[in-house]
Structure 1
Amino acid sequence: MNLKDLQNDFVDAFFGAEIDVDKYIISDDSLTAKQRFGIYKGSVHGVLTQALADMYPVCKELVGDKFFDHVTSKFINQNPPRSAFFADFGEGFSDFLANFEAAKSVAYLADTARLEWLRHTAWNSKNQEPSDFTTLGNYSEEQQLAMSFSLPETASLLQADYQVEQLWQAHQEANDLDLEKIDLFKHLNLLVWRTDYTIYMQELSTQQIDFLHAVQQNMPLSALAEQFTEHLADLLSTALGNGWIRSFHLA
């Protein structure tokens, strides 16, 4: 057996596959091969479980430690790490929760996980140098109409069926928001992004999130003007003023 196949067997065995890897492990009188592998497997699962707890702390509070450990164990076995960048692990947890039968009684749990994942990705995304918007006047009208804009690299848009931003805020130690006063069943449009070492969350109007979705699709200014007509100036000014648009690109 070559080294790659051996490594793949161990990884598969870590995450529940019925593969006999004991024969590859040197044992002594103190511990059997099975015991040694069990310790290592438990350590791997422990690290991944703690990583998910760090990424999804509000989800854990909502369901309690015992249920969270149960559902994360299932998730880990079905979705082991596939990337060398450890921060990529945990993607898809919200979809897993949405389809996990025992979690469906907490209807807003999956949307909460989606929000916490976006905060996680905002923190781990690379920084981006902003464009110098004071130079826009140097371009011809034709060039301006052909240019497109970009949100920050750290930014994501969330549309949720539940008011999970306020729910998340209510679970923070520094926030005195009353859980009983939250209208959980209110649709949420949200922008999540990071500037320097601070993560921001901004609730958006339907028109604002439609505009930012259009920006994400690299629509040129001419197409934005056609779609948003007389509202474009206000939408663009608000987005630039709040740092929701970070750069522009010439066609």
Structure 2
Amino acid sequence: MPSLAEVQARFVSALRDRGLPPPADIAGRSDETPERRFGVYRNNVHVSLVEALMGTYPVVLRLVGEDFFRGMARVYVGNSLPRTPVLIHYGDDFADFIESFEPARELGYLADVARLEWAWNLSYHAGDATPLDGQALGDIPPDRMTDLVFDLHPSMQVVSSPWPVLAIWDTNTNEEDVRPVDLSTGGGDVLVIRPAYEVELRTLPRGGATFIAALREGGRLGGAFERAIAASPDFDLAANLQGLIGAGAIVGFRLADPPGAGHGCVGSGG
């Protein structure tokens, strides 16, 4: 008697591969093998997953066309069935798949465009939080600013690419401003955030992604500045901090004890 895990494994294998017959453990009326009914079910699963990817990656779809996208997505679906019952979580590694998909190899930017679209998806479905009022930092003594630790908005994502993915995204989502994108202009870092109801995409200044990564790890402002300026000598701390507050990317803060003080947190805000 096969175990439940074995039955499920055979079912999933048959669901993935259209060339496989229905699992022997499945029986239809009069105990016959329901090949036709299973085939319809398998086809419906594949079609629904392909359409889910089309909804999540509309810019990739527009760039390659529907026929190419459907063909590419069918290969992906055959290898990657959902890991959760929530379809908005499906396709998290689609960009990695595109990167290895030989027919798309000439479109070097396509995978990073997909990464930007997935970041948009994550930001759109993230939890809500109230952005920090910029005036809230006004009472922090100047000599304690480097000890600030920030809480970042749960919707915030950063996508880095050697390609101008934000310009590609803009051109393919704005019907009123369609213009060719010069791929030779290079890439950069894109901030993806939903401070209120709409997801916003902004170009980060040089060093901004490193700065955000350090803050996201719970680092102090002073340490984040040191990491950012090591990555980009022209990093502007004031401009980057004001930009993050203006974008709604910071939702709270606290003051950590100065290094070596040996105590817990002494202040909070936000």
Q: Compare 152-161 and 201-210 and name the one that shifted more.
A: 201-210
Output the amino acid matched with 1:247. G
Output the amino acid matched with 2:201. M
Match of 1:78 in 2: 79
Match of 1:62 in 2: 63
Match of 1:236 in 2: 241
Measured after TM superposition, the shift of residue 131 of structure 1 is: 5.2
**Aligned residues: CA RMSD:** 2.8
Match of 2:232 in 1: none
Match of 2:250 among 239, 245, 248: 245
CA contact (8 A) 2:133 2:245 kept: no
1:195-214 correspondence to structure 2 within 5 Å: 195-214=195-214
Cα-to-partner distance string for 1:133-165 (whole Å, 9 max, x where unaligned) = 655566677875433113311111111121121
Q: Could you list the runs of 5+ residues in structure 2 that have no partner in the other structure?
A: 230-234, 257-270
- Structure 1 residues 35 and 212, CA gap change in structure 2 (3 angstroms): same
- Structure 1 residues 41 and 144, CA gap change in structure 2 (3 angstroms): same
- Structure 1 residues 225 and 54, CA gap change in structure 2 (3 angstroms): closer
Cα-to-partner distance string for 1:9-56 (whole Å, 9 max, x where unaligned) = 32232112846415512147xx96100000000111111000000011
Distance in 2 separating the partners of 1:225 and 1:199: 27
CA contact (8 A) 2:132 2:245 kept: no
Give the 3-state SS of the residue equivalent to 1:158 in structure 2.
strand
Measured after TM superposition, the shift of residue 76 of structure 1 is: 0.9
Distance in 1 separating the partners of 2:206 and 2:85: 37
Output the amino acid matched with 1:128. A
Distance in 1 separating the partners of 2:71 and 2:243: 44
Match of 2:27 among 25, 28, 36: 25
Give the 3-state SS of the residue equivalent to 1:149 in structure 2.
strand
Alignment coverage as a number of residue pairs = 248
Give the 3-state SS of the residue equivalent to 1:201 in structure 2.
strand
Output the amino acid matched with 1:210. T
CA contact (8 A) 1:22 1:37 kept: no
Output the amino acid matched with 1:66. D
1:154-165 correspondence to structure 2 within 5 Å: 154-165=155-166
Measured after TM superposition, the shift of residue 179 of structure 1 is: 3.0
Output the amino acid matched with 2:79. Q
- Confirm whether residue 114 of structure 1 aligns to residue 119 of structure 2: no
Measured after TM superposition, the shift of residue 116 of structure 1 is: 0.9
Distance in 2 separating the partners of 1:197 and 1:162: 28
Match of 1:194 in 2: 194
How does the TM-score come out when normalised to structure 1?
0.85
Distance in 2 separating the partners of 1:160 and 1:183: 15
CA contact (8 A) 2:134 2:245 kept: no
